[in-house]
Structure 1
């Protein structure tokens, strides 16, 4: 039996030795553990009851189905599992190739040349392990609005090390905000503060998710950013950066992360404390059908931009395989 595990990764190879990875090494991901003769089946066929196992399946939100994407001898299909997480499929007997994937965030399981005996009933277990993904948290930029000239000190703590900052970051940024929105640090002025970093991410069902065609991307972004209350300059900066990257695809999957949800990428501490801290991240991927369970179109809510306030936006591209 030649069993290969293809780890689902993004933007590079994730090589840390997590507990989940140790379990992958310790237990087979595909195993036929019971076979019985069944002459009632048509000659040349066999039944296999697949038992799909993952700790995360039991945390599936109410109203969502567990979906398995699979292929048998290169013929692809989709399973919609009930709470038993099992499904019986009739296959041809003989050497058989299997491939299973539970969607973004899980390992892909491939079992090659499995010998399926004629006229048999079989039980097989398929083990899925949640996989972390490496993303580039790309171009988070921080703007200030203040009705008066104001000195500030801002600490940004990403979940991993910075890849780049501008201006240079030395434990914190310290400078002056002007009513024009300009930021002065060490006698230099900037329209915004910039940072990025490589981080670990796991795609999950979220409060929003959209499937947008190439032609709809720009109008969609304009609408959502206007809903959030970004200024024309902020919207232009956002769209001219992300728009070209998204419209390289015929259609895209999009998720927005706002406010406290952005703490998974970095935390912010500002002195004096702004009257409002508004944060907006966009995650997107070239569309494929495996992302259907993550769709939940919901318009963005308006940010509070009154008084001294801070706005941060950033994002990342996901790369998801098709089965």
Structure 2
């Protein structure tokens, strides 16, 4: 199958890791029942496949229905109902199967299997979401408050820091000014910066966009304006992510908002902000198999009242050979 990329949302890493480990202990594909049936045309056979994944029950309607597959390198798709079962009619011969249920999953590829003539076969395919290491790039934290105020801020990334600026020592402790400047140990900063390399498991999501190279900047400007980022925040965001996205002629983009960002890091601030807004962007080189995951919506407007904290960051998921 073609090279694919990408993403969609998540459960907690701990849950997915346990579920993945359970599935790894059983074959990804196996035929568990074969029955002779002379009513089937000579030279043919029937294969009923039951698909399983710990994530299927959590995927919204529309995200769980498509299975990409090939039989001896001839590609096609299956549309599943809630039973996650499909039946194929095949030539009775040596066969190699490939199955892929969408972004966030490894492809299941079988060894060469002899499909016997005039038989009905029942098989099981087990999918799991593979944890992949990603660079959570340039999460930056802005603080705003109408009056000068002291604060302390703890950031706990899922897999530890690879870099922080200013240096993070158990917490960032300093003063925020009405201008948005942040002072720590006598030095002033426009924002607080951290990086992290993390294991990341893709799952369902509720937004997805295909954006051509020439539309990337207008797209980002529109979406960030909808979210009520300031001119300075939009400039920081676009000048970092725009060039990276524009290395491709077309990209698939998703946004992770608010509690969805807890998978990357937890944030604890004292005093507690009136509003916490978190926004991460994920992108990958476009592939036509991502078409079913397009769900274009406008980003919601963030509240920016009182003492508010804004964090943005993101990551690129490299293409996975399938």
- Normalising by structure 2, what TM-score? 0.88
Change (3 A) 1:266 1:281: same
* Aligned-pair CA distance for 1:182: 2.1
Q: Name which structure has the greater RCO, CA cutoff 8 Å, separation 6+.
A: 2
Name the residue aligned to 1:271.
270
SS state of the match for residue 170, structure 1? Answer: coil
Alignment check: 8 A CA contact 1:145 1:308 kept: yes
Q: Which residue of 2 aligns with 1:77?
A: 76
Change (3 A) 1:56 1:308: closer
Bigger share in strand: 1
Instruction: State how far apart, in whole Å, the 1-side matches of 2:38 and 2:239 are.
Output: 65
Unpaired runs of 5+ residues, structure 1, are 1-7
Deviations 1:94-151 (A, max 9, x none): 2111111122233321112111122322222111223333222111001122333322
| Correspondence for 2:26 | 27
Q: Is the 8 A contact 1:205 1:293 kept in 2?
A: no
Which position in structure 1 is the counterpart of 2:120?
121
Shifted more, 84-93 versus 159-168: the winner is: 84-93
Listed one character per residue, the Cα deviations across residues 2-41 of structure 1 (whole Å, up to 9, x for unaligned) are xxxxxx999xxx9xx9534543443222112222333343
Where do 1:158-197 residues align within 5 Å? 158-197=157-196
C-alpha separation between the residues in 2 aligned to 1:115 and 1:263? 47
Cα deviation, residue 261, structure 1: 2.3
**Is the CA contact (8 Å cut-off) linking 2:45 and 2:90 kept in structure 1?**
yes
Q: Aligned partners of 2:256 and 2:238: how far apart in 1? A: 16
For the Cα contact (< 8 Å) 1:9–1:132, is it kept in 2?
A: no
Q: How do residues 123-138 of structure 1 correspond to structure 2 at under 5 angstroms? A: 123-138=122-137
TM-score under structure 1 length normalisation:
0.87
Partner of 2:216: 217
- Give the match for residue 54 of structure 2: 55
The residue that corresponds to 1:292 in the other structure is 291
Further displaced range: 122-131 or 189-198: 122-131
SS in 1 for 2:167: coil
Shift, 1:299, TM fit: 0.6
Q: Give the corresponding residue for 1:310.
A: 309
Partner of 1:4: none
Q: Aligned partners of 2:50, 2:311: CA distance in 1, in Å?
A: 45
Aligned match of 1:282: 281
CA distance in 2, matches of 1:129, 1:207: 20
**What's the counterpart of residue 143 of structure 1?**
142
CA displacement 1:248-281 (0-9 Å, x = unmatched) = 1222121112222222221222223333222111
The residue number in structure 2 matching 1:89 is 88
Q: In 2, Cα distance between the equivalents of 1:310 and 1:53?
A: 41
SS at match of 1:112: coil
**Aligned-pair distance for 1:288?**
2.0
Report if aligned partners of 2:19, 2:54 keep a CA contact under 8 Å in 1: no
Per the TM alignment, residue 63 of structure 1 is displaced from its structure 2 partner at its CA by 5.3
Describe the SS at the equivalent of 1:83.
coil
Aligned length: 311
Equivalents in 2 of 1:174, 1:87: separation in Å? 57
The answer to which of 51-60 and 310-319 deviates more is 51-60
CA distance in 2, matches of 1:144, 1:207: 28
Q: Equivalent residue of 2:174, what SS? A: strand
Distance (Å, rounded) in 1 between the aligned partners of 2:230 and 2:272: 21
Deviations 1:203-236 (A, max 9, x none): 2322322122222211110001011111111111
In structure 2, the partner of 1:236 is 235
Q: Output the CA distance in 2 between the equivalents of 1:21 and 1:56.
A: 10
Which string of whole-angstrom CA distances, capped at 9 and with x for unpartnered residues, describes residues 40-75 of structure 1? 434332221112122332333345542211111111
